[in-house]
């Protein structure tokens, strides 16, 4: 090809190229965060390489081998030359990692969109789209298998040269292989099993192989590992849709039939039958030979929800964080090989390698956990919409409390429609909401008691009737301040600008601590919820010697108080400290079968649980979100109250919800008590409009961090200047605030500052960041910079 022509320019570094053994160029995006793509020559023995396949290639000045994705195959030489500039030599791919592409054209297009929209290097996006377990080939094993050579059928006739075989063991092996008809690599028997069965050693097998009586073959296999725990029984009576559901279903069917992209906001109160509709919409899509993805927040991916889908849909794959690496790989391969046509999972399931996608469902679309908090900082809900668009699929966003962004879109955007389910199925009454003003509550000696008198009274009745209760306290640990009342010293994290939370036991490891004198201490650990640092809490204040006080509260303290006040009740604490995934399934099973009376814990409890015998829900502190310095604090508070409340009274038994608060007049709490989402929205939108906040304007954050504060400050000022220059140059309508210290001004010894950017339209924001990206490629910033487009919080 071109080799002859360009050889004399010595454009190629390696011998192979000069010998003319490389006839193709590919473009590679590296998994490390380089925001540039590079061209490489491919040795002919590796050709063909496809888009979406990974290669290893020398990178940077040191030519360190790095993995990267092929993003363009067979780049014309002239194009590559033009992109590279004169004098830049092509390097050579050193290795091909994957036998086949990991991503198809549609996912590649999605990756490019994410890279552009979320301002993240393409290689980093691609790396995030394929689970680590798949890249590591977790659970893939090579097995040795054995079979008899030269023994053709029919078996009855052939003579075993048994006489030639020495030793009983060898004869036994041959006889065994013969009995099991292991005559070729297909019918070969697994070696380890055979040895165990016959009680012989590898040596006999080896000898037989040397004599060429048997042959040993390697086979790579992927263990089949179930990802859906069995156990909980789910009733799957045939349900007759009510009128609202029928209307909604007709809408979905029409959308799916159209074969065109569209988004529907399914705005239906808790228990209005949304999940039932998801399942039916999926069935419609499957009948058309297409596939579907269901995204749920991680904490809603309980066995209950997954089993509800798996009991109705056959070829289902699951992707969430409590799977082992091997299970994750199995699930992914299943999807890739079209053995699954429905994928249900958390955030990253939006990248499931399904072909022929017809429907994407995002349940609880308002959940902040759909936003990834490391690069690429994508929101899975918004990626889901984009993916649906790329494959002409329909997208259903479901919620009882939709995000203001989605509500706004559904009223104003072309491809969006809104469908409402205003009633609970079977017309179940909404639970009765009771406010408890904690300011009126009697303060006990050890500070405020977590369970107010009215709540305690009601809980006692509920327990007496053999019904169940859920108590929610949205904070882990025992108390969130360790404070000396006499000198006002507070324990702070040495790495981060936050107070430490008191935990009764260390987060990792178990058992009680022993002091040097051998006495068990009932004290505990101060833990930083940001960096994980933990220290033993001193018995006395190191400054003045007085005893510490625990202020504020967490789920451990709730557990202690319930145990003390209701010693007869069977209680289980549910938070991310006490529950690994599998324990959680077990607890839910025990609760559903009545072996536990009270579940007490964090927001893990707020989602997706369906227990008809729960008649009481206590929200211990409705204010926890309200103190956060975030413009979505009201929205979060409303959502939390209404979702937990939805756990009560899911049957004919009447439910009661106690909402305890120090801020009873807060609009978010008042509207939640009245179950008036529309009223809340109206009020909240007024504020958002007045302050140019989402959903009216777009928001982005630049978070910069460094250990050296002066250096950070200088870099932030320079960044601000760059931003201002682009705004001036392109005449953009954009508001910039900062640099200012981030709300948490130090994490893991890094000082943090932020610049906040507001733009009236997404396009304007995109233009600013396109300009900024180009300029950051030219002048690399000296501190770490994180770009957060559409942030879900500003901490």
The residue assigned the tokens 């879900």 is 792
DSSP line for 198-249: HT--HHHHHHHHHTTSEEEEEEEEE-----S--------PPPPP-HHHHHHH
Q: Which residues contact residue 491 at a Cβ distance below 8 angstroms, ignoring those fewer than 6 apart?
A: 481, 482, 483, 499, 500, 526, 535, 537
268 scored as a contact of ligand ADP (CB under 6 A): yes
Q: How many CB atoms lie within 10 A of CB 428?
A: 17
Which one of Zn ion, ligand ADP, none interacts with residue 245, CB within 5 to 8 A by kind? ligand ADP
d(CA 732, CA 729): 8
Q: Are 335 and 102 in contact (CB under 8 A)?
A: no
Burial of 728 (0-12, 13-18, 19+ CB in 10 A): exposed
Question: Which positions ≥6 away from 461 have C-beta within 8 Å?
Answer: none
Shorter beta-carbon distance to Zn ion: residue 532 or 547: 532
Binding residue (CB under 5 A) for Zn ion from 531, 569, 743, 786: 531
Binding at 530: pick from ligand ADP, Zn ion, none (beta carbon under 5-8 Å per type): Zn ion
Find how far residue 328's CA is from the centre of its chain: 13
495 binds, among Zn ion, ligand ADP, none (CB under 5 to 8 A by kind): Zn ion
- At residue 556, what are phi and psi to the nearest 5 degrees? -65, -40
Size of site (CB under 6 A) for ligand ADP? 15
Under the binding rule (CB under 6 A), the answer on residue 580 touching ligand ADP is no
Contact residue for ligand ADP among 270, 501, 555, 621 (CB under 6 A) = 270
- Residue closer to Zn ion (CB basis): 195 or 498: 498
Counts of helices then strands in the chain (DSSP H, E): 23, 31
Cis amide bond preceding 154, omega within 30: yes
Q: Which does 358 bind (CB under 5 to 8 A by kind): Zn ion, ligand ADP, none?
A: none
Q: How many residues bind Zn ion (CB under 5 A)?
A: 7
- Residue 77 structure tokens: 């030489």
Distance of closest approach, residue 236 Cβ to ligand ADP, in angstroms: 8
CA 399 → CA 248, 304, 387, 743, distances in Å?
Answer: 14, 18, 20, 29
Among 275, 369, 389, 409, binds ligand ADP (CB under 6 A): 275
Q: Select the residue interacting with Zn ion from 47, 176, 489, 530 (CB under 5 A).
A: 530
Closest CB to Zn ion among residues 7, 492 = 492
Q: Which residue is nearest to Zn ion (CB)?
A: 528
Q: Which of 232, 241, 375, 531 binds ligand ADP (CB under 6 A)?
A: 241
Q: Which of 39, 66, 271, 364 binds ligand ADP (CB under 6 A)?
A: 271
Q: 729 φ, ψ to 5°? A: -60, -45
| Min CB(308)–ligand ADP separation in Å | 8
Q: Is 367 near ligand ADP (CB under 6 A)?
A: no
Spatial distance between the Cα atoms of 625 and 481, rounded to a whole number of angstroms = 17
The option from Zn ion, ligand ADP, none interacting with 232 (CB < 5 to 8 A, set by class) reads none
Strand runs (DSSP E) across 95-236, as ranges? 95-96, 140-148, 189-190, 214-222
| CA pair distance 422, 272, nearest whole angstrom | 7
In the bound state with ligand ADP, the residue whose beta carbon lies nearer, of 27 and 381, is 381
Q: Shortest distance, CB of residue 464 to Zn ion, whole angstroms?
A: 45
Work out which of 80, 245, 307, 534 binds ligand ADP, going by CB under 6 A: 245
Indicate which of Zn ion, ligand ADP, none lies near residue 365 (CB less than 5 to 8 Å, by partner kind).
Answer: none
Among 284-292, 523-531, 712-720, 766-774, the segment contacting Zn ion (CB under 5 A):
523-531
Q: Three-state SS for 57?
A: strand
Applying CB under 5 A, which part among 30-38, 278-286, 526-534, 578-586 lies near Zn ion? 526-534
Instruction: Considering only residues 122 through 141, tell me which ones interact with ligand ADP, judged by CB under 6 A.
Output: none
Q: How far is the CB of 345 from ligand ADP (least distance, A)?
A: 17
DSSP 90: B
Out of 18, 21, 74, 276, the only residue in the binding site for ligand ADP (CB under 6 A) is 276
Q: Judged by CB, which is closer to Zn ion: 295, or 491? A: 491
CA nearest 369: which of 388, 347, 349, 391?
A: 347
In the complex with ligand ADP, which residue's Cβ is closer, 214 or 248?
248
What six digits make up the tokens of 489? 């010293």
Q: 399: part of which helix (H) or strand (E)?
A: strand 394-399
State which residue, 219 or 494, has the beta carbon closest to Zn ion: 494
507 binds, among Zn ion, ligand ADP, none (CB under 5 to 8 A by kind): none
Site for Zn ion in 485-514 (CB under 5 A): 493, 495-496
d(CA 290, CA 700): 36
Question: Alpha helix locations (H) across 222-369?
Answer: 243-258, 274-287, 303-310, 325-336
CA distance 329 to 561: 43
Whether 603 contacts 617, CB under 8 Å: no
Q: Would you count residue 426 as binding ligand ADP (CB under 6 A)?
A: yes
**Quick one: 68 or 273, whose CB is closer to ligand ADP?**
273
Position 307 contacts ligand ADP (CB under 6 A) = no
CB of 533 to Zn ion, least distance (A): 5
Query: How far apart are CB 531 and Zn ion at their closest, in Å?
Result: 3
CA angle 550, 453, 435 (to 5 degrees): 95
242 forms part of the interface with ligand ADP (CB under 6 A): yes
User: Could you say whether residue 108 binds Zn ion (CB under 5 A)?
Assistant: no
Q: Which does 493 bind (CB under 5 to 8 A by kind): ligand ADP, Zn ion, none?
A: Zn ion
Q: Compute φ and ψ for 307, nearest 5 degrees.
A: -70, -30
Quote the CA–CA distance of 273 and 248 in Å, as a whole number.
11
Q: 387: Cβ–Cβ under 8 A, 6 or more apart, which residues?
A: 106, 110, 293, 350, 357, 360, 393
- The answer to whether 417 contacts Zn ion (rule: CB under 5 A) is no
The Cα–Cα gap between 68 and 38 comes to 10
For Zn ion, give the closer residue by CB, 109 or 531: 531
C-alpha span between 732 and 767 (Å, rounded) = 8
| Contact call for residue 239 and ligand ADP (CB under 6 A) | yes
Please, what is the minimum distance in Å from the beta carbon of residue 430 to ligand ADP? 13
Among 27, 54, 251, 274, binds ligand ADP (CB under 6 A): 274
Q: Could you tell me the smallest distance in angstroms from the CB atom of residue 239 to ligand ADP?
A: 4
Stretch of 237-245, 636-644, 662-670, 683-691 lying at the interface with ligand ADP (CB under 6 A):
237-245
> Is 394 in contact with 264 (CB distance < 8 Å)?
yes
Tell me which of Zn ion, ligand ADP, none is bound by residue 241, counting a contact when its beta carbon lies within the kind-specific cut-off of 5 to 8 angstroms.
ligand ADP
Distance CA 748, CA 497 (A): 9
Q: Give 245 or 327: the residue with its C-beta nearer to ligand ADP.
A: 245
Nearer to ligand ADP, 239 or 521 (CB): 239
Q: Give the per-residue contact string, 700-719, with Zn ion (x = CB under 5 A; - = no).
A: --------------------
The entry of ligand ADP, Zn ion, none near residue 405 (CB within 5 to 8 angstroms by kind) is none
Tell me the closest approach of the beta carbon of residue 608 to ligand ADP, in angstroms. 8
User: Could you say which of 11, 296, 349, 528 contacts Zn ion (CB under 5 A)?
Assistant: 528
Residue closer to Zn ion, measured from CB, 499 or 758:
499
Where does this chain bind ligand ADP (CB under 6 A)? Answer: 239-242, 245, 268, 270-276, 425-426
Q: Which residues bind Zn ion (CB under 5 A)?
A: 493, 495-496, 528, 530-531, 533
């Amino acid at each position: 090809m071109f080799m002859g022509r360009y050889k004399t320019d010595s454009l190629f570094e390696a011998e192979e190229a000069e010998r003319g053994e490389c006839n193709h160029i590919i473009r590679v995006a590296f998994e490390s965060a380089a925001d540039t793509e590079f061209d490489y020559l491919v040795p002919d023995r590796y050709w063909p390489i496809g888009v979406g396949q990974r290669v290893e290639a020398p990178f940077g000045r040191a030519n360190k081998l790095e993995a990267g994705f092929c993003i363009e195959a067979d780049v014309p030489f002239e194009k590559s030359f033009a992109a590279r500039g004169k004098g830049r030599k092509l390097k050579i791919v050193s290795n091909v990692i994957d036998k086949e592409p990991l991503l198809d054209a549609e996912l590649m297009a999605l990756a490019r969109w994410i890279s552009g929209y979320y301002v993240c290097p393409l290689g980093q996006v691609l790396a995030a789209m394929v689970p680590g377990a798949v890249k590591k080939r977790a659970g893939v094993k090579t097995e040795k298998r054995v079979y008899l050579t030269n023994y053709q059928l029919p078996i009855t006739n052939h003579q075993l040269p048994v006489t030639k075989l020495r030793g009983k063991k060898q004869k036994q092996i041959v006889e065994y292989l013969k009995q099991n008809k292991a005559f070729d690599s297909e019918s070969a028997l697994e070696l380890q099993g055979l040895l165990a069965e016959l009680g012989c050693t590898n040596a006999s097998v080896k000898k037989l192989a040397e004599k060429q009586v048997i042959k040993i073959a390697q086979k790579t296999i992927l263990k089949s590992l179930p990802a859906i725990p069995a156990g909980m029984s789910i009733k799957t009576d045939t349900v007759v849709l009510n009128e609202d559901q029928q209307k909604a279903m007709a809408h979905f069917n029409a959308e799916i039939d159209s074969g065109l992209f569209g988004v529907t906001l399914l705005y239906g109160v808790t228990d209005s039958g949304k999940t039932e509709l998801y399942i039916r919409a999926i069935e419609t899509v499957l009948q058309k030979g297409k596939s579907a993805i269901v995204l749920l927040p991680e904490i809603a991916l309980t066995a209950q929800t997954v089993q509800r889908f798996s009991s109705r849909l056959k070829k289902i794959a699951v992707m969430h964080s409590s799977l082992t690496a091997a299970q994750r790989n199995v699930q992914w391969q299943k999807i890739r090989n079209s053995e699954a046509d429905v994928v249900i999972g958390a955030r990253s399931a939006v990248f499931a390698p399904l072909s022929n996608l017809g429907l994407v469902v995002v349940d609880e679309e308002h959940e902040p956990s759909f936003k990834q908090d490391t690069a690429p900082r994508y929101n899975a809900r918004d990626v889901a919409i984009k993916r649906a668009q790329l494959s002409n699929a329909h997208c259903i966003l479901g919620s009882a409390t939709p995000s203001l962004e989605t509500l706004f879109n559904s009223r104003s955007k072309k491809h969006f429609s809104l469908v409402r389910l205003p009633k609970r199925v079977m017309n179940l009454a909404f639970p009765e909401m009771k406010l408890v003003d904690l300011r009126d509550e009697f303060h006990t000696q050890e500070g405020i008691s977590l369970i107010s008198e009215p709540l305690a009274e009601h809980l006692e009745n509920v327990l007496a009737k053999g019904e169940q209760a859920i108590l929610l306290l949205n904070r882990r640990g025992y108390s969130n301040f360790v404070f000396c009342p006499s000198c006002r010293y507070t324990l702070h994290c040495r790495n981060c600008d936050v107070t430490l939370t008191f935990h009764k036991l260390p987060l990792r490891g178990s058992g009680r601590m022993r002091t040097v004198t051998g006495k068990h201490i009932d004290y505990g650990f101060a833990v930083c919820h940001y960096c994980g640092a933990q220290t033993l809490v001193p018995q006395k204040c190191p400054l003045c010697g007085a005893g510490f006080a625990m202020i504020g509260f967490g789920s451990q303290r709730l557990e202690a108080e319930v145990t003390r006040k209701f010693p007869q009740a069977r209680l289980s604490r549910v938070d991310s400290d006490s529950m690994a995934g599998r324990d959680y399934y077990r607890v839910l099973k025990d609760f559903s079968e009545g072996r536990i009376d009270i579940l007490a814990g964090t927001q893990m409890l707020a989602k997706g649980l369906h227990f008809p015998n729960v008649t009481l829900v206590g929200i211990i502190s409705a204010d926890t979100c309200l103190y956060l310095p975030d413009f979505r604090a009201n929205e979060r508070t409303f959502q939390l109250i209404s979702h937990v409340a939805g756990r009560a009274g899911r049957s004919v038994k009447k439910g009661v919800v106690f909402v305890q608060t120090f801020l009873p007049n807060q609009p978010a709490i008042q509207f939640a008590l009245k179950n008036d989402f529309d009223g809340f929205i109206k009020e909240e939108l007024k504020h958002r409009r007045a302050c140019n906040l989402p959903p009216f304007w777009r928001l982005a954050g630049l978070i910069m961090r460094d250990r050296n504060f002066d250096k950070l400050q200088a870099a932030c000022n320079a960044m601000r200047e760059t931003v201002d220059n682009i705004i001036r140059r392109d005449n953009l309508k954009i508001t910039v605030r900062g640099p200012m210290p981030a709300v948490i001004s130090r994490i893991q010894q890094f000082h943090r500052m932020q610049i906040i950017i507001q733009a009236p339209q997404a396009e304007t924001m995109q233009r600013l960041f396109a300009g900024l990206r180009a300029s950051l490629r030219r002048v690399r910033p000296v501190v770490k910079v994180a770009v957060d487009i559409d942030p879900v919080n500003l901490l």
